[in-house]
Amino acid sequence: MNLNRCTWLAGALLPLLTSTGGAQTITVDIEDASIFDVDPDTATVADLPGPDGHISFGEAMVASNNTPGRQTVAFAIPTSEWTHYPEWYPGRAVIVGWVPNMSANDEVTIDGTTQTAFTGDTNPNGWEVQCLTELFFAADNCTVTGLHGTALWIEGSNGVVQDNSGMSIHLYAGYGSSGNGSGTRVEGNTGGGFLVIDQSSDNVVVGNTFDRVRLGGYVAGGFLAVNNRIGGPTIAERNYIIGTGTWTSHGVPGGFALEIVDATDTVIENNQIGTSLDGMNIGHPASIAGILIDGENHNTIIRDNRIAGVLAWVLPPHAPAYQIGAAIRIGGSGSGLEIVGNKIGLNALDQPVLGSITGIETLHWWNPNGVQNVVIGGSAPGKGNEIAGHLGSGISVANTFSGVHITGNSIHDNGGLGIDLITGMFQAGVTPNDLLDTDTGGNRLQNFPVIKGAMRTAGGVLVRGELASEALRTYTIDSYASPSIDPSGFGEGARFLGSTSVATNAQGRATFQASLANAVPAGWFVTATATDLERGDTSEFSAGRRLAQAFKVP
């Protein structure tokens, strides 16, 4: 048995079982859940075992439902009874049988770790009990632990799904639900599998390994997913979400690691998303999004995650082979999206070698009502994202998106622009400034500053420049430094230096001179962005200017 499972059994099994307050334990000792020699409608714990001397899983669930209080369903099935599909499911007791009354209608603990304690660690891929029938939980306060490769459908509240392996877990609270499906804690599950949070609220997902997580509501029906948390600030709360996907018959990949649809007050924090478990390789070759945001979402925080390894191939023969993928894809509508403190495109050693095509990409050029109030980064310590190693741009703002405020990030080593504002004609690349900034596109194609001089000083860097934009408006100028600039002459921004504010005159012009207390090595280049303070529109990076020892008049 692996060390983690030994530790869990020694340290967590006893508290889990004693927390049932002395309630009865029902021990299953045969695989076939459809065997009944007690009344399936009225049997209680007192009626077990029946005349055959055995207890099936179906009998255990019926007795638990019909007996007041909380019971624990345990397992002690001898290996001599492991006769169901041993060639497909070696090393485990396989519970089979379509039994309509195998659902939990009263609070119960399903404890598969007891089978491991009985027969030992016989399944190298996970725990030793696997149910081939989906288990349905309509009751509140249910706990499931120590199962492998089993599908759970949970509609009750305040449940715990802890320390299972290879599971498919569905938390549901939508139309027709017999419970409210809220407040389930999903913790410490390993071995991949899927998690779906479906119109369900107040769930906490921490310390798991999944192939895919989908968090979704149904806004048209009035069933939002509200106040869900995936991950947390500590290492123990980190989830590893690898990603999955398939190819169509035309060779087009499609898949994701984490999807958010029709949700409110969502926190995605401190997870590793899109990579292999060790953080050093691509997670799944058909996954095209690390985090996919669609539908209508409000008040979403994506904070302190590592999102990388999302790069899939479109395969011939129907089209030439090419690659697609983005670490974060932002679509749909809604408001209040904060992306802060993440490492995007970097492996576990913080090397920029696991980038996608685009680091952060906004979608739906056909949607005039894209997500509002998007903030990427921040000037406070720990708020900036590091976005690096992507084959295309670091951040791409689609032509219908505006108010995407980009500040305080470290954006470097990308094959395209650090920030690319897409024009109304869907053109990428450097967008030239225009008189009075009247053109339209991503972030209204906010004009970028022009740096006239940059000088190293004893206290940091002195930057001088000008901005030509709309008249009589206030802007923030963010300055950055990088060891090199793009072949276009325009920059990225590897190191955030600081900010200053300017106000344009009636001709739309303003000059600035900022003394920034941030040391920069000799030979580096300084670039800058401009952000309309009222609207939140951030420009592309300016052309780079090499640091000098003194200002030189252009």
194 forms beta bridges with: 168, 212
pLDDT of residue 550: 60
What single string gives the DSSP state of each residue in 78-136? -GGG--SSTTTSTTSEEEB---GGGSBSS-EEEETHHHHHHH----TTS-SEEESSPEE
pLDDT for 16 equals 27
Q: Can you give the residue ranges of every domain in the chain? A: 1-157, 211-391, 445-546
For position 9, what pLDDT does the model report? 40
How much is the pLDDT for 475? 98
Using the 8-state DSSP alphabet, how is residue 201 labeled?
-
User: What does pLDDT average to over the chain?
Assistant: 92
Task: Provide the token pair at 266.
Answer: 């969502």
Is the pLDDT at 3 greater than 50, yes or no? no
Residue 394 · residue 377 · CB < 8 Å:
no
Tokens read off for 271: 């997870």
Q: pLDDT exceeding 70 applies to what percent of the chain?
A: 93
Contacts of 7 (CB under 8 A, 6+ apart): none
Predicted confidence at residue 425, as pLDDT, reads: 87
User: For the segment 347-405, what is each residue's pLDDT rounded down to a tens digit?
Assistant: 999 999 999 999 999 986 566 678 999 999 999 999 999 999 999 999 999 998 999 99
d(C-alpha 56, C-alpha 32), whole Å: 6
Which residue is listed with tokens 């055959």? 52
Partners of 68 in beta bridges: none
Sign of the C-alpha dihedral, residues 502, 508, 513, 515? positive
pLDDT band at 478 (very low <50, low <70, confident <90, very high): very high
Backbone angles phi and psi of 406, in degrees to 5: -120, 115
**Residue 367: per-residue pLDDT:** 65
Query: Residue 22 in 3-state DSSP?
Result: coil
pLDDT in tens, 235-245: 999 999 999 99
d(CA 460, CA 83): 73
Task: Give me the pLDDT at residue 228, please.
Answer: 97
pLDDT for position 363: 84
Q: How far apart are CA 174 and CA 176, in angstroms?
A: 6
**pLDDT per residue as tens digits for the range 433-444:** 999 999 999 999
Q: Which band of pLDDT confidence, cut at 50, 70 and 90, is reported for residue 23?
A: confident
Residue 158 DSSP code:
S
DSSP 423: B
Rounded percentage of the chain residues whose pLDDT exceeds 90: 84
- Model confidence band, residue 20 (pLDDT cutoffs 50, 70, 90): very low
Query: Any bridge partners for residue 131, and if so which?
Result: 95
* Alpha carbon distance 300, 265 (integer Å): 6
Catalogue the E-assigned strands of 222-316: 225-226, 229-231, 240-241, 244-247, 253-261, 263-269, 272-273, 289-294, 296-303, 306-307, 312-314
d(CA 502, CA 490): 22
* Model pLDDT, residue 474: 98
CA 209/CA 187 separation, integer angstroms? 9
pLDDT for 17: 28
pLDDT tens across 397-429, in order?
A: 999 899 999 999 999 999 999 999 999 888 999
pLDDT above 70 (res 551)? no
The pLDDT tens digits for 153-187 are 999 999 999 999 999 999 998 766 666 678 999 99
pLDDT band of residue 215 (cuts 50, 70, 90) is: very high
Does the structure show a pLDDT above 90 at 51?
yes
pLDDT in tens, 252-299: 999 999 999 999 999 999 999 999 999 999 999 999 999 999 999 999
The pair of structure tokens assigned to 414 is 């990308």
Q: What are phi and psi of 14, to 5 degrees?
A: -60, -50
Residue tagged 């019926």 (tokens): 62
Q: For 9, which DSSP code?
A: I
Nearest to 527 by CA among 450, 432, 462, 414: 450
C-alpha distances (whole Å) from 280 to each of 8, 153, 312, 355, 360 are 27, 33, 16, 11, 20
Distance, CA of 316 to CA of 552 (rounded, Å)? 54
- Domain spanning 445-546, CATH architecture: Sandwich (2.60)
Cis peptide bond upstream of 317, omega within 30: yes
CA gap 530, 508 in Å, rounded: 13
Structure tokens, 521: 């090595």
Tokens 């802890």 belong to residue: 162
CA-based end-to-end distance of the chain? 71
Q: Which residue has the tokens 């406070």?
A: 380
Query: Tokens 């967008």 label which residue?
Result: 431
- pLDDT (tens digit, 9 = 90+) per residue, 290-340? 999 999 999 999 999 999 999 999 998 877 899 999 999 999 999 999 999
pTM for this model (two decimals): 0.92
- How far is it, in rounded angstroms, from Cα 147 to Cα 164? 5
pLDDT confidence of residue 366: 63
